Amino acid sequence: MCGCVSELDMTLMLDFESSELEGRKLGHCSDRAVPMDTTASGTSSVQYHNVTEQAIVPLAPPPVAHQRKQRHCFGNAIPGEFPLSANPSIVLHFLSACNLNPQDLAKLEASVFCLRFPKVGILQPAHFTPDHELSLAELAAHDMCQKRAIFKPMTIEQQQCLKQRCGGSWKLVLRYVLAGEACTRREKSQAIAGPGHSLAVTSKGAVYSFGSNSSGQLGHGTTHEEPHPSLIRSLLGVRIIHAAAGAGRTMLISDAGRVYAFGKDSFGEAEFGADGNKLVTTPQAVESLKDIFVVQAAIGNFFTAVLSREGMIYTFSWGDESKLGHQTEPNDLEPRPLLGALENIPVVQIAAGYCYLLALACQPNGMSVYSVGCGLGGKLGHGTRTDEKEPKLIERFVELNLQPVVVAAGAWHAAVVGKDGRVCTWGWGRYGCLGHGNEDCESVPKVVEALSNVKAIHVATGDYTTFVVSDAGDVYSFGCGESSSLGHDTAAADEQGNRQTNVLSPEVVTSLKERVVQISLTNSIYWNAHTFALTDSDKLYAFGAGDKGQLGVKLAANQTERAIPDRVDVDLS
C-alpha cells in the first residue's frame, strides 16, 4: 500500500461494518448513496440519514443479555455487507489521493475492497459500479488520469479513443501516461547535450541554451556562440516540457503540444548533406504540426520524429528507398505517420540514432521495443544487419523475460533498462560501448552482466559511449574515452597522460558525488562528445568537449575539454 493510506485507514475501511461506536447506534441507512464532500482541503464527510432518536438511558440500567443485531446498509438485506459498496466515492478518495500505479489498483480491486462474510471468513471481489460500467479500480484510474498534464486538455471523445488504443482499460491508459512521464522526465527539469550546443529546461518550463550557434540553433536571434547558459526570452510565457537537439537545429515541445523549431530548416544529413533554404534564429511554431498534440521529439542525422499524445509517431524526411515507409525529400517538413506494426499500438518514448529509430510501446500484455531504419552493425536488434522499412518488434526481450521501461539510441548501438533494473545493449560494440568487456558486435539485446548487482533506472547512449544511472544515484560509464566524456580522470593512471582511454566494462564515475537522476550525452559522429549529469536537487554538472562553450562552464586558457564534472551555473528548480 502507498504511504497515504495508513494501516489505521485500511482497518477503518475494511472493518467499518463491524465496528462498534461507543454511545451511538445506527438505524437503517437511506436507500440512496450519500455523496462524498471532497473539498479543497482534502477532508471528507459521510452523512447518515434517518438516524433514529435515542431515549435517555439510565446511568445504571439493569443487566441484559447482549444480542447482536443484523445491520442492513442502504436498503440491501444481505447481513454483514460491506457498507462502502453503496458509497464507493469514499474508497475512491483513498485510492486517487495516493497516486497508486495500475498494478496496485488491480490488486486492491481483487483483494482489499471486497465483500466481507464474517461467518465463513472469506473474501470475495466487489465490483462497485456507480456509473453501471466501471469497477472501483477503473474509476480510480480514470480519476488519476484526469490529474495528468497531457490528459487534462483532452475531450471526452479523445479520452475514449486513447482508452481503446491502450486496450480498453483506464488502468492501461494510466500505465501509458505514467510510463511516458517517467522515461522522458516530462514536467521535470532536463538537460540536453546536443552536437556542439546544449539545452537546459527548468521544472517550470523555461529554456536556457549555450554553445555553438552557427545556424541560430540557440534561439537567441543571433548566430554568435554563447559560452554561458542564456534564457530564450522569446518563449517567456510558454511552458516547455521537452527538448531535442540535432546538429545545427533544436526543437522544443510546449505543454500545449505545440512544436517550436529553430536553426537549420533542413532534416537532411547533419553536416555533409543537403542544407536548408534558410536559418531560423528564434523559435518558430511548426505549422505542419499544429493539428497534432506532440509530447516528444527525436532528431536523427537524416530525419526527425515526433510522438503524439495518443502514442502515434510522425516522421519528417529520410525518404530514400522508403526507409521510414514513405518517399520524401531531405527538407520535407510534412509529417507522415509511421504506420505498419505500430499503427494501432501506443508508443510512450522514441529514440533516434544516426540512421534508425527505436520506439518503446505500451501494450496490454506489457512493454515492448520496435525498431526501424538502417540495420548496419546489428543495431536494430533482430539478429541480422539488414534494414527495416517498417517498425519491427524486437523479440529478444520476451526470451530474456525483461520488461523495457527506458530506451536509448546511440549513433551505432542501443540500450534498454528493464523494469527489474537489468541493462541490455546491442549493436556495434566498438571501443567497448556495449559494456561486455570486448568490442564485439551484438545483433540482439544482451544483458550487461557486469551490472548484475546494480538496479538501473536510466540509460543514455552517444557515439560509442554508454552511461547507466542506478536507483542509488550512482553513474556508470563505458565505451569511447575521447574528449574525456566518460567522466573518468584517467590522466593520473596513464603514464602518457592520455585521457582518451577506452573503457570496455562499466566503471563508476567517482567524480560525481551527488545523487544523479539523468544523464545526457552527445549523440553525433561529427562532434566531440560532452556529457551532462543532472542531480535530484536540480544541480547540473558538465564534462567532456567544451570548445564551442557547450559545457556552460569556464575553461582555462587553451583548454578545450574538461575531464572532471564541473557545476553549471543555471537554476533548474
pLDDT given at position 291:
94
User: Between these two residues, 269 and 189, which has the higher pLDDT value?
Assistant: 189
User: Per-residue pLDDT for 131 more than 60?
Assistant: no
pLDDT given at position 527:
87
Q: Using pLDDT thresholds of 50, 70 and 90, give the confidence band for residue 138.
A: confident
pLDDT given at position 243:
97
Determine which helix (DSSP H) or strand (DSSP E) holds 177, and give its type and residue range. helix 170-184
Taking residues 211-233, report their average pLDDT: 96
Distance CA 91, CA 104 (A): 14
Digit-coded pLDDT (tens) for 479-521: 998 878 899 865 544 444 445 689 999 999 999 999 999 999 9
Q: What is the 3-state secondary structure (H, E, C) of 237-303?
A: CCCEEEEEEECCEEEEEECCCCEEEEEECCCCCCCCCCCCCCEEEEEEECHHHCCCCEEEEEECCCC
- φ, ψ at 75 (rounded to 5°): 80, 0
Q: What is the 3-state secondary structure (H, E, C) of 504-549?
A: EEEEECCCCCCCEEEEEECCCCCCCCEEEEEECCCCEEEEEECCCC
Distance CA 448, CA 505 (A): 9
Taking residues 40-62, report their average pLDDT: 44
Vertex 237 angle, CA 309 and 256, to 5°:
10
pLDDT given at position 126:
37
- φ, ψ at 557 (rounded to 5°): -55, 135
Distance CA 294, CA 304 (A): 13
Cell numbers 486517487: residue: 96
**CA 573 vs CA 107, 241, 469, 530: distances in Å:** 36, 14, 21, 23
Report helix, strand or coil for 169: coil
Taking residues 222-251, report their average pLDDT: 95
Vertex 566 angle, CA 561 and 571, to 5°:
125
pLDDT given at position 9:
42
Distance CA 430, CA 502 (A): 10
User: Between these two residues, 272 and 113, which has the higher pLDDT value?
Assistant: 113
Residues of the chain with pLDDT > 90: what percent? 57
Among the residue ranges 8-22, 354-368, 472-486, the one predicted with the least confidence is: 8-22
Q: Using pLDDT thresholds of 50, 70 and 90, give the confidence band for residue 41.
A: very low
Digit-coded pLDDT (tens) for 291-317: 999 999 999 888 899 999 999 999 987
User: Per-residue pLDDT for 280 more than 80?
Assistant: yes
User: Between these two residues, 458 and 264, which has the higher pLDDT value?
Assistant: 458
Residues of the chain with pLDDT > 70: what percent? 70
The mean pLDDT value of the chain amounts to 80
